[in-house]
Amino acid sequence: MPNQNSYNIVLGVNIDHVASLRQSRLTHYPDPVHAAYIAEMAGADVITFHLREDRRHIQDRDVALLKQTVGCRTNLEMAVTEEMLSMALRTKPDDCCLVPEKREELTTEGGLNVLADPDKIREATLRLTEEEIRVSLFIDPDPEQIDAAVKCGASAIELHTGTYAQLRGEPREKELHRLMEAADYADNQGLIVNAGHGLDYSNVSALAAIPQIRELNIGHSIIARSIFTGLESAVYEMLKLIQDARK
């Protein structure tokens, strides 16, 4: 049966690349905590950050300070490892998005393969959920992965939009259709449906128009634009595109 559900959509601003710039010179600036404050003042609903195992951008100190200073929701992206689970259980972000992680990758390439290790993901989900942290699994728009996410007890998924962002023309339209079907299917399974990766000012509107999607997490394009326009304006412009797509 076609799904008629439609929700408000919110923007999560990923501030990792403010930290990338800082770490490139090992200075104390620019500070992602400062960026989070400006993004929140500009209307961001969620502040998202990825603590990678190699600490290439966000540092442990950032996670602790962000949790203490951010007024809106905090969303910690992390690999499913004991080290990251301990960090999350200690700092208690509002949301945890479980992602795959390879040290050699430039950024998160591809979604989590929930089918490959469901026991590990289920256990991590349970431990986080017990502490009232909302767990989202970052997965490709694949019904089998969605079913596996439900079985793991996750309350949310984040659909990986990286392939959509990279493609052009008809292949992009096909991937968009796949994302639409996945969002509808997951919503019907009772999951909260978020999306993100590779979204920018030119490709976000089609994604934001999908009525089941409740949150978009966007980083690189917003931080890149902020160099020229300032962060407040970069966040505001993205928010406007997203909200306009829902009208």
| 33 vs 199, beta carbon nearer ligand PXP | 199
Using the rule CB under 6 A, is 91 a contact of ligand PXP? no
Catalytic residue, chosen from 77, 101, 158, 215, is 77
Using the rule CB under 6 A, is 163 a contact of ligand PXP? no
Using the rule CB under 6 A, is 77 a contact of ligand PXP? yes
Is 130 considered catalytic here? Answer: no
Is 77 considered catalytic here? Answer: yes
Are 210 and 187 within 8 A, CB to CB?
no
Terminal C-alpha separation, the chain: 24
Residue 7: strand pairing partners: none
In the complex, what is the shortest distance from the CB of residue 4 to ligand PXP, in angstroms, rounded to a whole number? 27
Residue type, 86: S
Using the rule CB under 6 A, is 164 a contact of ligand PXP? no
Is 144 considered catalytic here? Answer: no
- Strand, helix or coil at 166? helix
What six digits make up the tokens of 139?
């997965």
Residues 33/34/39/45 CA torsion (nearest 10 deg): 30
Residue window 46-75: x/- pattern of binding to ligand PXP, with contact defined by CB under 6 A: ----x-------------------------
Interface of this chain with ligand PXP, residues 179 to 198, rule: CB under 6 A: 196-198
Catalytic residue, chosen from 17, 50, 57, 160, is 50
In the complex, what is the shortest distance from the CB of residue 53 to ligand PXP, in angstroms, rounded to a whole number? 13
In the complex, what is the shortest distance from the CB of residue 30 to ligand PXP, in angstroms, rounded to a whole number? 16
Using the rule CB under 6 A, is 199 a contact of ligand PXP? yes
Distance separating alpha carbons of residues 154 and 135, to the nearest angstrom: 6
Distance separating alpha carbons of residues 126 and 120, to the nearest angstrom: 10
Reported as half-sphere exposure (CB side, CA atoms, 13 A), residue 176 has a value of 17
Q: How far is CA 86 from CA 74, 78, 93, 157, 174, in A?
A: 17, 11, 12, 21, 40
In 79-164, beta strands by DSSP E? 95-98, 134-139, 156-160
User: Which position among 138, 152, 187, 203 is part of the footprint of ligand PXP (CB under 6 A)?
Assistant: 138
| 77 vs 175, beta carbon nearer ligand PXP | 77
Are 16 and 51 within 8 A, CB to CB?
no
Using the rule CB under 6 A, is 16 a contact of ligand PXP? yes
In the complex, what is the shortest distance from the CB of residue 143 to ligand PXP, in angstroms, rounded to a whole number? 20
Instruction: Kindly list the catalytic residues.
Output: 50, 77, 197
Contacts with ligand PXP by CB under 6 A lie at 14, 16, 50, 77, 97, 99, 107-108, 138, 158, 196-199, 217-221
